[in-house]
Amino acid sequence: MQAEASPPARPVQAALFLAVAAYAAVFAHGHWEWNLVHPPADLSLLVQFKAETPYQYRLLVPLLIRGLEELGLPALLGLSLEALARWIDGLVVVGIFYATRALLGRFLANRAAAGRWALLALWALPFLYLLPRMWPYWYPSDTTAVLCMTLGVLWIRDQDWPKYYWLFPLATLNRESTSFLIAVFALTQFGRLRLSALAAHLAVQTAIWITIKALLQFTFIKNEGVGAYFAEALSYNWSLRGEPERWWTLSMVYGFLWIPLAWLSRHVRDPFVRRSLVLVPLFFVVSYVLAQFDELRVYGEMLPLVVLGVAVGARDRRARRDGVGARATAPSAP
């Protein structure tokens, strides 16, 4: 096995952190300033639990902000609710980079390589949340959903069940798309766990998901809104099939990383990555049925899988070209 390179020196890590933090600050500012707040999902309404559904169901960040407000932290620091939300957004973006680096580190030969490939996540974020001008709305659950999905995939890969089951309920409070974490679990752990253990895990996760969603719907039953999802999405999306600008907008998703992914995915040899990538096109199909397909922010949850597919696909293509087994270029499984 190829020896793992030593981690970069502390000054390099410090400089990297400062660069990522600066990027996150600029991104969080732009995420708020360049977008609109959807009136039914105004931050003050979300924090007061009076927003329309389904926006109010995405409770994690509004609940955090409300808790910090009741502790008096925003007043102590002289921050408005909007400024506090931007701080949270920036911290989440920093978390996305380091969680992506950790995930990639499970498959690439060293942390430096993982860090370079993790920059793709930072490249893609503006194309999801800043640059699209169709449905240019800010929602507090967006970047948090990317972080939750990245950590979830990481801890499924590590089979670190205490951390995973700590994360899963919180991620489900943030957004209902954690159903795809259950799918990642099912696809990647088949053959790694005994069938009885796999079935038990899936039953527990499904029960958690259903219970949280049912409690949210019961708690906010009097809130106005469309309910759990946009029931007219499929007919709406179908009516737009002949509008080229919609498809051009969709082509920008992930900063066009879907193009190298489509080319490199056939080279992926790692079974965990190969199985996970099945969910990327499935997510788009589900979004076409349940959401507005040209609203690029809805695809954020698949970003860690897209970056993972590109990085591992490039690694395995190079290994095949050089006549080296893909497993010889990666660290051992935990």
Closest among 155, 167, 169, 124 to 297, alpha carbons compared: 124
As a whole number of Å, the CA-based R_g of the chain is: 20
- Could you report the per-residue pLDDT of 72-122, keeping only the tens digit for each? 888 888 889 999 999 999 999 999 999 999 999 999 988 889 999 999 999
Per-residue pLDDT band at 1 (split at 50, 70, 90): very low
Q: How many CB atoms lie within 10 A of CB 310?
A: 23
Residue 266 DSSP symbol? G
Q: pLDDT per residue over 177-226, tens digit each?
A: 999 999 999 999 999 999 999 999 999 999 999 999 999 999 999 999 87
**Of 38-42, 86-90, 159-163, 307-311, which gets the smallest average pLDDT?**
38-42
Lowest mean pLDDT across 67-76, 148-157, 251-260? 67-76
Average pLDDT estimate for 255-281: 96
pLDDT value at residue 237: 87
The pLDDT assigned to 331 comes to 56
Mean pLDDT of 154-176: 97
Strand 137-138 with 36-37, pairing: parallel
pLDDT value at position 324?
A: 61
The Cα 304–Cα 105 span in angstroms is 13
Q: Are 148 and 174 in contact (CB under 8 A)?
A: yes
User: Which of 150, 152, 106 has its CA nearest to residue 124?
Assistant: 150
Query: Two tokens at 22?
Result: 């600066």
Give φ, ψ of 189 to 5 degrees.
-95, -5
Question: Average pLDDT of 245-271?
Answer: 94
Cα 275 from chain centre: 18
| Average pLDDT in the chain | 91
